[in-house]
Structure 1
Amino acid sequence: MSCPHHTTAAATGAADATGIGTGTTERIVQEEGAQLDFSRDMSYGDYLHLDQVLSAQHPLSPDHNEMLFIVQHQTSELWMKLMLHELQGAVREVAADHLPEAFKMLARVSRIMEQLVHAWDVLGTMTPPEYSAIRPYLSNSSGFQSAQYRRIEFMLGNKNAAMLKPHAHRPDLLADVQAAYEAPSLYDEVLRLMQRRGIEVPASHLSRDFTRPYEADDGVKAAWLQVYRDPRQYWDLYQMGEELVDLEDAFRLWRFRHVTTVERVIGFKRGTGGTGGVSYLRKMLDVVLFPELWALRTEL
C-alpha cells in the first residue's frame, strides 16, 4: 500500500536543498532561461562595454603578479573618474546655493575615498621580489603622472604649478589639469558661500589668485568659529564644514595607506616616475586642505 506522502512527492518531484521541489526548480529555470535571449536587446556586457574594459589589461612582463598591479591602478582610475564627477557637481551646487545636493555628492566622494583606502590592502599582497620582477617593464610610468589624481588635488586646493609638467606631453590632458589649476577650489567656493550667507570672510580669500596654494588665515578661522559656536543658526554651513572634514579625513587615510604600501613593497627606492618615492609621499602627509576647520577645534 503506497503512502500518500510518497505518492505526492513522486508526482511533484523530490524537494531539493532549498525546500523547493526539483520539478518546480526545473520549471523556474526554464521560464527564466526563456528571458535570457539578448540577441536583439542591449545586454549587461553591452551597457558596460565590458569587452573593452576587460581587454584593457596588457602585462608586459612574464610575471604572474603584474595583472594585480594593472587592475589595481585601472580600478583606482575608474573610482577617481567618479570622484571627479562628484566633485565637479558639488562645486556647481555650492556655487548655486544648492547645499542638500552638494552634501550628497561630498558624502559620496568620502565613501569613494574609503574604497581607495581598502584597495591598498590588495596591492599590499605584492611582495618586494614580486614587484622587482615587473619593475623593469614599467619604464618611467608612474601614478605620479595620473592626470585625474592631479585634478582632484587641484580641486581640493593643493595647487602647485610644477605638477602641470608631467602632463605636458599630452595637450588634451594638460588642458583639463590646467583648467582645474586655474579654477577656484571647492574650499574657495565654500568661502564665497559663507560670505553670501552673511558670515564675514576676509576679502583676500574671496578674490585671490586661485593658482596659488591655499594659506590658512585667522579671519577665515574666525568665520568658521562663528558657524561652529551657533550650529543651530548656521546649520547648513555647519554641516558643510563637517562634510569637508569627513572628506579630508578620508583623503588623509588614503595618503597614509599609499605611503605604507609603497614602503612595504619597494622600501625607499626612488619611484619609477623619478620622485623620491616614500620620502615624497611622506611630505604629502603634511598637506592640510582645509586648515581652519581643523584649527578651530582647539578653541571650541
Structure 2
Amino acid sequence: MVLRREPTARQVRLGVELRRLREAAGLTAREAAALLGTGRVQMSHIESGLTGVSEERLRRLASHYACTDKEFIDALVAMATDRTRGWWEEYRGLLPTQFLDLSELDHHGSFRQEVAILFVPGLLQTEDYARAVFSSRVPELTSEERESRIRHRMARRVVIEGPSPTPYEVVIHEAALRIRVSDRTTSQAQVARILELSEADHITVRVIPFDLDGFARASSTMTYVGGPVPKLDTVVRDAPHGSVFIDTEAQLNAYRTRFHRVQAVSLEPERSRDFIHKLAREL
C-alpha cells in the first residue's frame, strides 16, 4: 500500500487512538499485527496515520483490544472510512498543512468553545482585521501568502455562517476588543460584526471586562472543539510555529475545566452585548 506523504491531523488522530487502545490492552505492535495477519511495520504505519485501515480490520482490532465502547468504535470507523474532500483542499500546496487541518477540524466538530485574550478569534474577524493580523507576521509574508491566508480565513466562516452552523461559544477579553490591530475604522467594523453575530441562536458571545474579578487563574487563549464523542474532542493552541492540537484525556479534562472557569467569571450574553455596545461608542 502506498504510504501517505503528509497525513492529515485527523488521520494521525485515528492512528493515535488505535495505539492507545492497543497499549491499554497490553499488546505490542507485533502482537497486534499478528491479529491482522500483517507485520509490525505495517502496524506502525497504521498507528502513525501513514496508511489507512479498513472498517473490518478496525473492528477486529477493537474486539481483540476488548474495547466495548460502541459509540467510540463507530466514531473511529467513521474517521477511517471518511473520504471527504472539503473546500479547504483547494489550498493544499498554497498554505501550510496546519491551516487545512484546522479547517477539517472545523468541518467535523460538533461544537466549538473559544477564549480570546488579545485578538478577536479568526472565525469572527472581518477581512480588514484579518489583513492587519497577517500583515504583522514575522517573518513578513509575501503578498501572495498573505492573501491566501486571508481568503482561507474568510472561507472558514462557513462553520458558523453556513447552512449547517456549529454551536459556538466564545469568551473575549476586553483587551481583544480594544486593541487596534489597524485603525479606528477597522476596529469599529470588527466590533459591529461581533455584535451582529452574537444575535444568532447558535452563537454565544461573552465578555471579560478589565475590571472583572476572578480571572487570573484562567487567562490563556484556547479553542476547544467537540468530537463525535468526548474522547475525540480536540484543543487547539496557537504557538510561534503554528497551531498545536492537544488530545490526551488528562489535557482535555484540564482544558474543559479551564473553559468553565472562564465562562463562570465572564459576563452573561445579554450583559456582554450591552458592554460591547458601550465599547463601540467609545471607539
TM-score range, shorter chain: under 0.3
For normalisation by structure 2, the TM-score amounts to: 0.27
Tell me which protein shows more strand as a share of its residues: 2
For normalisation by structure 1, the TM-score amounts to: 0.26
Tell me which protein shows more helix as a share of its residues: 1
Q: Between Structure 1 and Structure 2, whose CA radius of gyration is higher?
A: 1
